[in-house]
Amino acid sequence: LASALAGRLQLLGVVAPQPGGSQGVALLAIDGKPPRAVRVGGSVDGDLILQSLTQRGAQIGTLDGPAAVSLDLPGLPPPATGALPPPTGVTQEPLPAMQPGTQSNAQPGIQSGMRRGGSRDMNRDINPTATQAPAMQAQLEGGPSGQSASPD
């Protein structure tokens, strides 16, 4: 009887009660029909009721008797492992190397080093050390007077 009953029932889901609780719902499919929710104590088929639930299982039997069948939820598939395949249809070309003193965000129609309304050296405005580096290096190495810039 138990094996024939187990072959007719499929446990698809469980909303188990808190430990020690008697409430809960099982999602059961009987004889391949669409699944339905059955509360603990509710009728499953004929005189069979849902007697109790666990986190991953259900016990079904008569109201006064022992569980005729225990159903368990199927185990979860193992997690996917390994690397994802490379994306298709996407090509990634290396970015061109920038030359010193060039700007990558220059506006079209405006020459590098120029601003609207005047011709100023943008490189100097953005990076003052680019034009002052030789003079600063000379000062650090002893400067034009031959003295060191570091304190005594």
Statement: residue 111 has pLDDT above 70: no
Place of tokens 């809960």: 24
Residues 69-92: tens digit of each pLDDT = 999 998 888 887 877 777 777 666
| 3-class SS of residue 40 | coil
The full set of domain ranges for the chain reads 2-72, 112-143
35 vs 71: CA distance, rounded Å: 15
What pLDDT does residue 23 have? 85
Look up the pTM and report it: 0.49
111 vs 137, higher pLDDT:
137
36 vs 84: CA distance, rounded Å: 38
For residues 76-100, one letter each, b for 16 or more C-beta atoms within 10 angstroms of the residue's C-beta and e for the rest, the string is eeeeeeeeeeeeeeeeeeeeeeeee
What pLDDT does residue 6 have? 77
**Residue 129 CA: distances (Å) to CA of 57, 135, 141:** 73, 9, 16
